[in-house]
Homo-oligomer: A and B are copies of this chain.
């Protein structure tokens, strides 16, 4: 690969580098005839302007970093696809920051903004991924940044969220309406804000229905299918078993259904299962999974749109966008059989 620079094109077409640059980025400033000469040289050589040269000069990278715990996760994958789509439209490239749930890797990606390698950052973990000087106000230290999925605990951060607590209440109301009273919860890691909020919703719904919260019915998983399987095994060992299980992710619900099948329980005949997310595979399970849908596509799109505004120095950008969840009733939940 032979690298060709703006100077080569300038020489080849007999104009200055400045004119080459103008031809490529602001062609209206250049006469038709020189434009033609320049474009000929560009086409012949396959010249592409070096973005680092341009970025160094303009102080803009046209990159965006996305920090996510795990790209393999369907929820994250759906969101990032929407982001990528929106970013490309606006001329931005996406730097992938898969932290693999490794907190130290947060700052590795966060530094990309600090070091000018990216103009903005999208954060799907509950932490600000760069070092903050505690002596100075946070507001002044924040680059263009939007947070989603797991809320960062700061009012200065722009967010696109769903009402996790309300989503959980919807799931519970569905199970309660079906007559269930012994309803277990398979939650995510205790420190995740999404799990905290959904657990609040779980408890709120029970209390409002006049049902006491039974801590043996609350099992902790890690949002992955295997942990849902194990959580379900624990619940099945209980002397008094739940008749319905609210899993805080579809993956855990899928794992739970696998455990139930393994031990010959019928879903929803013996136990109803409801998930959270509505990933593609939810509707491909047997029985098809009832769940609370998150508008993943919209979340990604909105995040990127807000970030775009922030990077453009736009004033009055939405600080807090809340998107609706929706109960999707399928086959994995059914009336209590007594």
Contact = CB atoms under 8 A, between A and B. Distances in A.
Interface of A: 1-3, 46, 48-53, 55-56, 59, 61, 63, 66, 70-72, 74, 77-78, 80-81, 84-85, 88, 93-96, 98, 100, 105, 108, 111-117, 130-131, 133, 140-143, 225, 254-255, 257-258, 261, 280-281, 284-286
Given A258-B284, A284-B255, A285-B286, A115 B48 contact: yes
Contact of A71 (B3, B80, B116): B80
A52 B61 contact: yes
Given A93-B112, A285-B285, 8 more contacts: A1-B114, A48-B111, A50-B116, A53-B56, A71-B84, A72-B280, A77-B77, A225-B280
A111 to B, nearest CB: 5
Copies in the complex: 2
A136 to B, nearest CB: 10
Nearest to A116: B50
A93 B65 CA distance: 10
A70 B81 contact: yes
A74 B281 CA distance: 11
A286 B258 CA distance: 8
Q: Output the residue of A2, A46, A63, A72 with the most chain B CB within 10 A.
A: A72
A81 B77 contact: no
A264 B150 CA distance: 41
